[in-house]
Chains A and B, each alone.
Chain A
Amino acid sequence: MQDILRKVTQAFGVSGNEEEIRKVITSEIEKYVDEIKIDAMGNLIAVKKGKSSAKSGGAFPGRKIMLAAHMDEIGVIATFIDEKGFIRFSNLGGVSAFNSLAQRVRFKNGTIGCINAEEQLEDYKNLKLEKMYIDIGCKSREEAEKLVRIGDAANFTGDFYVNGDRMISKAMDDRSGCAVLIEVIKAQPKTDNEVYYVFTTQEEVGLRGAKTAAFGIMPDCAIAVDVTFSGDTPQCRSREVKLGAGPAIKVKDSAYIAHPQIRRELEELAGSNNIPYTLELLDRGGSDPGAIQAAGAGVPCGGVSIPCRYTHSPAEMVSMEDLKNCVKLVELFIKK
């Protein structure tokens, strides 16, 4: 699983530019599923057909389940190139100016640039992305435009490191969720249920892909796997969620309140199978369950979250033990 996580976290896939990560995931899973579709929003939808039985008149007797993890990552987009070759940019998703300062970014074609701020800035409290630029080492606009055009997206670079159970990388949000889904697919859990594994797009800019994917599938129920803030770093807000404390079952975030039955099912499954878990009450930020549950006439949807430190930075940290427990919990859910 570590290898897959390394592969998916390092792939390029800023919101709205998920082509590369979609290819990487497709090549990992295509052997194990019955059908693969890409919809108009670019969502990757992999279907594992339900078993039909003679008893049910050829129809599969189980549930139609959607599992979702978003494959996009936050990043930046070039908006203007000046005559000296410096690139002005805007954010795609929640990019903090402070986290961006002095970071490296990589454009899709491999061009690396560094982000810095106008020197005149007197007070760093006023640091804003509008006062910052990307330097790709070019001397003129003409030279820069050969490498980067307005509208090109770039991700933050952040290598993949392992330290025992803990792993650090860019884009753990939400490639670690993608890795969980890939593991579940590969484990080929035996079930009568029809399972739609969806790797959604544009979550970071407003839960956009999940909305159309859920509308197209109209599942009986759904689970989204995403990261959530961990509450175990110095002087952070107190949260029950901690690295290594197991999956966090989502109770609420700013876009979603848990479907009571799905939440209960997840808690019971974890409890009766000795999977450690915590409850997630996210004080800021929304995630795909908010869009999925409001699709069409509504979908009962739950959230299984991976505790993650330093979310939306180039060095996000998760625990392998947590990931494995997420895989177990999701597998139990789809077998039910």
Chain B
Amino acid sequence: MLIKELTDLNGVSGNEKEVRDFILNKINNLCDSIKVDSIGNIIAYKSGKSSKQEKLKVMLSAHMDEVGFIVSGHTEKGFVKFKAVGGIDDRILPGKRVAAGKKRLAGVIGSKPIHQQDKDERNKITKIKNLYIDIGADSKEEAEKLAPLGEFISFDSEFTELGRDCIKAKALDDRVGCAVLIEVLKHSFDFDMYVCFTVQEEVGLRGAQVAAYRVMPDVALVLEGTTCADVPEVEPYECSTILGNGAALTIVDRTCYCDKEMVSFLSGVAKKNNIRFQYKQTTTGGNDAGQIQRTGTGVKTASISVPCRYIHSPVSVMSRSDFESVERLTLAALNEMNRDREFLKNLTKVN
């Protein structure tokens, strides 16, 4: 399964090579040209079939990187100090398995044992700066050799199927988007399509900024894994999305007010094709859409996401039916844009 293959790969922000190589290999024969730009994005171009009219540029984007860690130091006794890359909740860290570097050196995140902690410490969250990774090294020298300063570290977590419809894995954010776009590249449309697999989203939407500047698209669609909080102790109005309720359309988040015409187009396509969808009900978070939308003279941009519980953790959980909804909606929207040329033309008209 493609999502298993993709989430098994390690690609902490700034170190996406493993994911990039895998995707390049998968899409090599599916597009007209492939460029890996200077920051590390893949920009796969698929020429439009139509030669008659002015071809519009549609950009699709998903980020390859995942949250993780980086080695920041070593103790005399051979423990590895580390910092987070991207947004990670300190509370989930103690006791987690991690893998350092290309060779996937095994390690565990440890902290001061509970029976050594005083009352105050027990009631407090252990901060990342007080945690360490134990790689079984005896000395500083050995630790430095095995996990040198600057080495990238990923969560070590197996892809597992839960129940009838769910999947647990790390990095669902945003390998689910990558999986959808690999599928999209198997199809051709009349418009020019630029499928971008971006880097460094988790540290500030950095890859998308340069990818969009190079492509200068008319329209952009961002494929994402997004937050899902339909869990105990969360009020219904605080749930961003609900697992199993289908593809999540963003109206507005902290980085992007999605183009309203595009959002209503996407919901229309979903209804017409009986594809389950939901609106993301909170306005927090953000993704590549923010940077892409404000590139050049502006880009009509929207996001379609797969809800992921426990996002940015080694145990993200998603529903396969939601993933299917996202994939179907993306393809249906592209087909509809292809069929209804007026829509794209009107959408991008500067009056």
A interface list, Cβ under 8 A from B: 15-17, 37-41, 43, 77, 79-80, 82, 88, 90-92, 130, 150-151, 202, 205-206, 208, 211-213, 215-216
**Given A90-B282, A90-B283: A40 in contact with B350 (beta carbons within 8 A):** yes
B257 adjacent to chain A (CB < 8 Å)? yes
Residues of chain B within 8 A (CB-CB) of A16 are 252, 257, 260
Given contacts A16-B260, A43-B298, A150-B251, 19 further A-B contacts (CB under 8 A): A15-B257, A16-B252, A39-B350, A40-B348, A40-B350, A41-B298, A79-B281, A82-B236, A88-B237, A90-B252, A91-B283, A92-B252, A92-B257, A151-B263, A151-B279, A206-B255, A212-B295, A212-B296, A215-B297
Nearest CB of A to B214, in Å: 15
Docked pose: A88 CA to B252 CA in angstroms:
15
Measured between alpha carbons, how far is A308 from B63 in the docked complex, in Å?
Answer: 43
B178: interface (CB < 8 Å): no
A80 touches B281 (CB 8 A): yes
Complex-state Cα separation, A272 to B271, whole angstroms: 64
A208–B237 CB distance below 8 A: no
CB distance A211 to B294 under 8 Å? yes
Tell which of B237, B251, B252, B298 touches A39, judged by Cβ atoms closer than 8 Å: B298
| Bound complex: CA A79 to CA B235 (Å) | 13
Report A-chain residues with C-beta under 8 Å of the C-beta of B309: none
Q: What B residues does A92 contact at CB under 8 A?
A: 252, 257
Offer 10 A-B interface pairs, CB within 8 angstroms, sorted by A: A16-B252, A77-B252, A79-B281, A79-B283, A88-B237, A205-B257, A208-B257, A212-B294, A215-B296, A215-B297
Contacts of A40 in B (CB 8 A): 259, 297-300, 348, 350
Q: How far is the CB of A70 from chain B (nearest CB, A)?
A: 14
Q: Are A77 and B283 within 8 A (Cβ)?
A: yes
Q: Which 5 A-B pairs have the closest CB atoms?
A: A40-B298, A16-B257, A212-B298, A80-B237, A216-B297
Query: Once the chains bind, are B298 and A151 in contact (CB under 8 Å)?
Result: no
User: A38 to B255, alpha carbons, bound, how many Å?
Assistant: 22
Question: What total of chain B residues lie within 8 Å of the partner, measured CB to CB?
Answer: 25
Say yes or no for B5: interface residue by CB 8 A criterion.
no
Most chain A Cβ neighbours within 10 Å, of B295, B297, B348: B297
B238 at the interface (CB under 8 A from A): yes
Contact with A along B233-246 (1 / 0, CB 8 A): 00011100000000
Shortest Cβ distance from residue A19 to the other chain B in the assembled complex, whole angstroms: 9
Residue B351 lies at the interface, judged by CB distance under 8 Å to chain A: yes
Q: How far, in whole Å, are A43 and B112 apart by their CA atoms in the complex?
A: 55
**Main SS at interface, chain B:** loop
B293, CB-defined interface residue at 8 Å: yes
Q: Are A79 and B237 in contact (CB under 8 A)?
A: yes
Min CB distance A39 to B, Å, is 5
* Interface membership of chain B positions 287-312, coded 1 if the CB is closer than 8 angstroms to chain A and 0 otherwise: 00000011111111000000000000
Report how far A212 CA is from B212 CA in the complex, Å: 13
With contacts A16-B257, A92-B252, A205-B257 taken as known, whether A41 is within 8 angstroms of B294 at the C-beta atoms is: yes
Residue of A nearest to B278 (CB): A150
State which of B236, B257, B296, B351 has its C-beta within 8 Å of the C-beta of A38.
B351
**B238 to A130, Cβ gap below 8 A?**
yes
A79 and B283 alpha carbons, distance in the complex (Å): 8
Instruction: Report the Cα distance A270→B104, complex, angstroms.
Output: 66
Q: Considering the chains assembled together, what is the distance between the CA atoms of A150 and B263 in angstroms?
A: 12
Complex Cα–Cα for A38 and B350 (A) = 6
Which residue of chain A is the closest to B258 with respect to CB atoms?
A16
Report chain A residues within 8 Å CB of B293: 41, 208
Residue in B237, B252, B282, B294 whose CB lies within 8 Å of A82: B237
Residues of A contacting B252 in the complex (Cβ-Cβ under 8 angstroms): 16, 77, 90, 92, 151
Q: In the docked arrangement, what's the CA distance between A108 and B351, Å? A: 23
How far does the alpha carbon of A79 sit from the alpha carbon of B241 in the complex, in Å?
11
- In the complex, which residues of chain A have a beta carbon less than 8 angstroms from the beta carbon of B296? 212, 215-216
Are A151 and B251 in touch, CB under 8 angstroms?
A: yes
Contacts of B281 in A (CB 8 A): 79-80, 150
Which residue in chain B gives the minimum CB-CB distance to A86? B237
| C-alpha gap A150/B260 in the complex (Å) | 13
CB distance from A72 to the nearest CB of B (A): 10
Task: Output the least CB separation between B247 and chain A (Å).
Answer: 15
The chain A residue with its CB closest to the CB of B219 is: A40
A37-B251 contact, Cβ under 8 Å, with A80-B281, A202-B257: no
Contacts of B295 in A (CB 8 A): 212
B306 to chain A, nearest CB (A): 19
Residue of B255, B296, B348, B351 most packed against chain A (CB within 10 A): B296
Chain B residues near A17: list those with CB within 8 A.
Answer: 260
CA distance A208 to B299 in the complex (A): 12
Do residues A208 and B282 form an inter-chain contact, with CB atoms below 8 A? no
Contact with A along B330-351 (1 / 0, CB 8 A): 0000000000000000001011
Within the complex, which residue of A77, A88, A91, A208 is in contact with B294, where a contact is CB–CB below 8 Å?
Answer: A208
Distance of A29 Cα from B277 Cα, bound (Å): 42
B249 closest partner in A (C-beta): A151
Q: Give the nearest-CB partner of A88 in chain B.
A: B237
Within the assembled complex, what's the spacing in Å between the Cα atoms of A212 and B301? 14
Q: CA of A213 to CA of B294 in the docked complex: distance in angstroms?
A: 10
Complex Cα gap A91–B300 (Å)? 22
What is the bound-complex CA distance between A206 and B293, given in angstroms? 13
Interface string of B263-283 (1 = CB under 8 A from A): 100000000000000010111
Instruction: Specify which chain A residues have a CB less than 8 angstroms from the CB of B297 in the assembled complex.
Output: 39-40, 212-213, 215-216
- Alpha-carbon separation in the docked complex, A202 to B210 (Å): 22
Tell me the complex Cα distance, A38–B297, Å.
Answer: 11
Complex CA gap A211/B293 in Å reads 11
Q: Identify the closest chain B residue to A41 (Cβ).
A: B298
Report B-chain residues with C-beta under 8 Å of the C-beta of A88.
237
What residues of B have a CB within 8 angstroms of the CB of A41 in the complex?
A: 293-294, 298
